[in-house]
Structure 1
Amino acid sequence: MSSHTAVITGSTAGLGAAFARQLAGQGYDLVLVARDGGRLRTQAEALEAQYSVHVDVLVADLVTDDGVAAVQERLSDPRHPVSLLVNNAGHGLSSDFLDSTLDDERNLLRLHVQTPMELCHTAARAMTRRRAGRIINVASVAGFTPTSTYSAAKSWVINFSKALHSQVHDDGVVVTALCPGLVRTEFHERSGLDVSGAKRWMWLDADDVVREGLAANAAGASTSVPSRSYQALTAGLRFMPDSLVQWAVSKRAGDAEQDGASAAPPRETSDDAR
């Protein structure tokens, strides 16, 4: 059994699966968290066989109190300390705010805001007591734009991660907000999003995103925006008025529709759906 253990939420596909593979390749034991027990067990068996690490599975619905409490219990277990927490579980919404239901909106905020906050609170307390630990919160470049409740949630993740990082850094804990753009995962299909209008340069590879995120976290960075194209884009967004950003997003969606696609703007773009 390794001396390092990583807990990964939403581990069975996309970025979560890439985190699991790369951390197992680095010799981490894993605790994989998702709703689909069968898929989790298949993933765990494959990782144990390929990388000779120990993998536990935790079947949990992270929009429920019981699901979150199960992960918190594992994070706070002093007999089996967690070295790295990856808050990756998430989903997008295919409809605008006024067209979605309140239950859908509540679940989105629960999964992207409340759940990571609660898991970070538990993990950071345990890590600061040991004066060692790492947390990666999967956010999105959408968090730099005022375009949806999804982008608002990811903006919260970015700012929360930066604030927590500053509070715990002197105690040996690093917190990083990973902010990718469009990633080739199951996220868009499972969220009911059509992004066929997205340009080729916008698409990132999940393994590349995770590699950059892990490197940034290991280097002590509070934020990581993978790829130079998205780094330039997010830098420019800081100087653009909100009205211009919203116009650009609407225009891209409109152009996609004229091309025969009902494409959503690049706002539901960070983590894969579970």
Structure 2
Amino acid sequence: MTTILITGAAGSIGTMLRSRLAREGRVLRLLDVAPLPGGPGPGEESVTASVTDMAAMTAACKGADAIIHLGGIPSEAAWAPVLDVNINGTYTVFEAARRAGVPRVVFASSNHAVGFAPRESFPVPDAAYPAPDTYYGVSKAAGEAVAALYASRYGLNAVCVRILSCFERPLNARMLSTWLSPDDAGRLFEACLTAPAPGFRVIYGVSDNTRGGWVSLDGARALGYEPRDDAEHYATDVLAAAGDPAGPDPADPVFRYLGGDFTLPSRDAPIPPAADS
């Protein structure tokens, strides 16, 4: 892989991946509407553009060997912006890849595409049908469908990574089960970029957590991913901060479904005002 286009490169995961995907002879082409933290470094190119701009995306794709599509609204929002940026933007990325002849797209999906998978179904299989918990989750399920179309109709290699909780460290008790460490994120995306002819895949992105087992890692491992990190290293501090050193209550609604608090009524998206009659 000599040139990799990363959309949403100024975001938290994009920033994590920059140093972890850097290789001798590899160029990271970093695209975002926001400035890149620290600006582009050695082996990096900066592109200011929106994933919804077909002309700009097609131009950015030229000469790329693969795309990592991270760009989009990263949490729940009203339907109109989710539709525009996350759903239409993902279509634009795949169509631009097809027009420019990019053979592989790695799409950052989310566990929220199957957020209403109940605890009784754990570990949620790689091929679990969509059960989105929010408009955001719907957009990720739609992106997976777009990826499947472009893989089947146009022969793109399309790997959809249902990322769980990717932060520098786990922030709460739930993340002791769902954490994807930055280093494991780098290992996972590198595997997605380099696995021979993956075709269409839907896999999960999570570290090898002692309290894990919420989702399958079979699909990710089949691509060559071997997680090395474990949220348990942070468990004492996380549980003490939560005021519950004995551990979380399994009856807590946050632990009822894979999507955690995204499944709660408090996460209902804003309702747009009624149109004037």
TM-score by length of 1: 0.63
Local SS of the residue matching 1:114? helix
State how far apart, in whole Å, the 2-side matches of 1:266 and 1:180 are.
17
Moved more, 109-118 or 206-215: 206-215
| Match in the other structure for 2:113 | 143
Count residues with an aligned counterpart.
Answer: 208
Local SS of the residue matching 1:36? coil
201, 220, 229: which one pairs with 2:177?
201
State how far apart, in whole Å, the 2-side matches of 1:24 and 1:36 are.
21
Contact 1:141 1:230 (C-alpha < 8 Å) held by counterparts: no
| Match in the other structure for 2:230 | none
Relative contact order, CA 8 A, sep 6+: which one is greater?
A: 1
- Report percent identity of matched pairs: 16
80, 83, 93: which one pairs with 1:109?
83
Residue 59 (str. 1) matches residue 48 (str. 2): yes
TM-score by length of 2: 0.63
Instruction: Decide whether aligned partners of structure 1 residues 24 and 232 sit closer, same or farther in structure 2, where only a CA change above 3 A counts.
Output: closer
16, 21, 32: which one pairs with 1:18?
16
How far off its partner does 1:115 sit? 0.9
Query: 1:120-269, aligned counterparts within 5 Å?
Result: 120-127=94-101, 133-144=103-114, 145-169=131-155, 173-184=156-167, 196=172, 198-219=174-195, 220-221=197-198, 222-227=201-206, 229-232=213-216, 251-252=253-254, 264-265=261-262
Local SS of the residue matching 2:149? helix
Residue 90 (str. 1) matches residue 72 (str. 2): yes
Q: Supply the RMSD in Å over aligned alpha carbons.
A: 3.5
How far off its partner does 1:196 sit? 4.2
Contact 2:162 2:203 (C-alpha < 8 Å) held by counterparts: yes
State how far apart, in whole Å, the 2-side matches of 1:206 and 1:251 are.
27
Instruction: Decide whether aligned partners of structure 1 residues 252 and 163 sit closer, same or farther in structure 2, where only a CA change above 3 A counts.
Output: same
State how far apart, in whole Å, the 2-side matches of 1:185 and 1:13 are.
13
Contact 2:75 2:136 (C-alpha < 8 Å) held by counterparts: yes
Deviations 1:39-72 (A, max 9, x none): 35x2412xx1xxxx2x221122445x4xx53222
Deviations 1:96-121 (A, max 9, x none): xxxx6xxx421122221111211211
Contact 1:197 1:253 (C-alpha < 8 Å) held by counterparts: no
Contact 2:110 2:161 (C-alpha < 8 Å) held by counterparts: yes
- List 4+ stretches of structure 1 deviating above 4 A: none
How far off its partner does 1:233 sit? 9.4
State how far apart, in whole Å, the 2-side matches of 1:266 and 1:215 are.
31
Q: Which amino acid aligns with 1:31?
A: R
Local SS of the residue matching 2:22? helix
How far off its partner does 1:30 sit? 2.0
Local SS of the residue matching 2:132? coil
Contact 2:133 2:263 (C-alpha < 8 Å) held by counterparts: no
State how far apart, in whole Å, the 1-side matches of 2:263 and 2:107 are.
19
Contact 1:140 1:180 (C-alpha < 8 Å) held by counterparts: yes
